[in-house]
């Protein structure tokens, strides 16, 4: 049989990034992953945040008790992605877990040659196993986030529709542009996702209009509404698609997954 697989789409690697805290990065990484898996895609989520929230969302109640994590993978030459990979039945995806130890990685990696592309090297051997890899970035633009942008093909930027929501967007866009020109020419912004949208308030709708006016087509044509159900999911170790499958939140992330799948086909 021919090994020519030029027509097979390559793995698409998403970095879910915004240096602003609490805007829905982790929630988006988990639920987009779950929605893509629900559509039959093979998905790997990567926790690149020392807070370990993605890992908790995947159903690991105590990430600090994990023996090997993304920290070991990044800082130990002989630890591979396969060594640390876990599966989440409640979300329906594979994931690479992290915990507070990862906070030490930024310092340790500073002296490494090729420190910006350690994650890329480590993910390379498992790339063929997946259609999508989704990296949950920490709320900063340090070396960990740069590592995510170097391996990513696409950036998804969750943006909270409130007064200070857009603050920092310029800095984020500059960082993406710098990585694109110097280290990763394939990198581009896939879209800006309005999150935690309080659709019943005048203020949130004003901010949404401003975001749309500023960023035009980059803003997805749907929002993730404000819902308490999201906060309840981690305790259940499930995605919103499993925990509240007919909720507006689940619908929003299915819309995002369908948008991702249709833009992939168009390319």
Ligand X SMILES: Nc1ncnc2c1ncn2[C@@H]1O[C@H](COP(=O)(O)OP(=O)(O)OP(=O)(O)O)[C@@H](O)[C@H]1O
Contact residues for ligand X (CB under 6 A)? 21-27, 49, 51, 53, 139, 195-196, 224, 226-227, 230-231, 249
For the bound state, the minimum distance from the C-beta of residue 183 to ligand X, rounded and expressed in Å, comes to 24
Q: Which of the choices ligand X, Mg ion, none does residue 196 contact, using the CB cut-off of 5 to 8 A by kind?
A: ligand X
Closest to ligand X by CB, 22 or 125:
22
| Nearest CA-CA partner of 14 in 67, 54, 52, 51 | 54
Shortest reach from residue 155's CB to Mg ion, in Å:
15
- Rounded to 5 degrees, φ, ψ at 227 are -150, 135
- With CB under 5 to 8 Å by kind, the binding choice for 153 among ligand X, Mg ion, none is none
Q: Closest approach of Cβ 59 to ligand X, in Å?
A: 15
Q: Which does 165 bind (CB under 5 to 8 A by kind): Mg ion, ligand X, none?
A: none
Nearer to ligand X, 113 or 231 (CB): 231
Residue 20 or 254 with smaller CB distance to Mg ion = 20
Classify 90 in phi/psi space as left (phi over 0), alpha (psi -120 to 50) or beta: alpha
Task: Give the phi and the psi of residue 237 in degrees, each rounded to 5.
Answer: 65, 30
b vs e for 80-96, b when ≥16 Cβ sit within 10 Å of the residue's Cβ? ebeebbeebebbbbbbb
Distances (CA, A) of 13 to 8, 85, 128, 186: 15, 17, 12, 11
Residue pair 224/35 in contact (Cβ under 8 Å)? The answer is no
Q: Pick what 220 binds: Mg ion, ligand X, none; C-beta below 5 to 8 Å, kind-dependent.
A: none
**What burial class does residue 227 get, using C-beta atoms within 10 Å of its C-beta: 0-12 exposed, 13-18 middle, 19+ buried?**
middle
Give Cβ neighbours of residue 42 (< 8 Å, ≥ 6 apart): 129, 130, 131, 132
Report in angstroms how near the CB of residue 25 gets to Mg ion at its nearest. Answer: 5
Q: Nearer to ligand X by C-beta: 117 or 255?
A: 255
Of 158 and 194, CB closest to Mg ion? 158
State residue 181 phi and psi, 5-degree precision: -75, -35
Q: Is 227 left (phi over 0), alpha (psi -120 to 50) or beta?
A: beta
Rounded-to-integer distance, Cα 14 and Cα 83, Å: 22
Does residue 26 touch Mg ion according to CB under 5 A?
A: yes
Residue among 20, 25, 122, 254 that touches Mg ion (CB under 5 A): 25
Residue among 149 and 224 whose Cβ is closer to ligand X: 224
* Position among 35, 38, 53, 187 found at the interface with Mg ion (CB under 5 A): 53
Query: Which residue, 24 or 131, is less far from Mg ion as judged by CB?
Result: 24
> Closest separation between CB of residue 57 and Mg ion, Å?
9
Residues that bind Mg ion (CB under 5 A): 25-26, 53
């Amino acid at each position: 049989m021919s090994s020519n697989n030029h027509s097979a789409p390559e793995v698409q690697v998403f970095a879910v990034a915004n240096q602003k805290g609490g805007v829905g990065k982790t929630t988006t990484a988990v639920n987009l992953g779950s929605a893509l898996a629900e559509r039959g895609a093979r998905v790997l989520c990567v926790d690149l945040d020392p807070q370990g929230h993605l890992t908790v969302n995947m159903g690991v109640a105590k990430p600090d008790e994990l023996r090997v994590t993304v920290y070991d993978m990044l800082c130990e030459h002989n630890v591979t992605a396969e060594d640390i990979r876990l599966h989440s039945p409640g979300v329906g995806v594979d994931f690479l877990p992290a915990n507070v130890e990862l906070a030490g990685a930024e310092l340790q990696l500073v002296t490494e040659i090729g420190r910006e592309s350690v994650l890329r090297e480590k993910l390379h051997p498992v790339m063929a196993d997946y259609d999508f890899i989704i990296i949950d970035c920490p709320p900063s633009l340090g070396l960990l986030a740069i590592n995510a942008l170097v391996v990513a093909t696409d950036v998804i930027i969750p943006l909270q529709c409130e007064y200070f929501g857009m603050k920092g967007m310029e800095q984020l866009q500059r960082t993406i542009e710098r990585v694109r020109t110097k280290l990763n020419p394939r990198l581009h912004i896939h879209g800006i996702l309005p999150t935690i949208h309080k659709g019943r308030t005048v203020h949130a709708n004003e901010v949404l209009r401003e975001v749309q006016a500023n960023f035009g087509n980059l803003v997805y044509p749907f929002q993730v509404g404000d819902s308490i159900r999201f906060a309840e999911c981690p305790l259940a170790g499930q995605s919103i698609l499993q925990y509240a499958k007919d909720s507006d939140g689940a619908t929003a992330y299915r819309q995002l997954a369908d948008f991702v799948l249709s833009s992939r086909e168009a390319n």
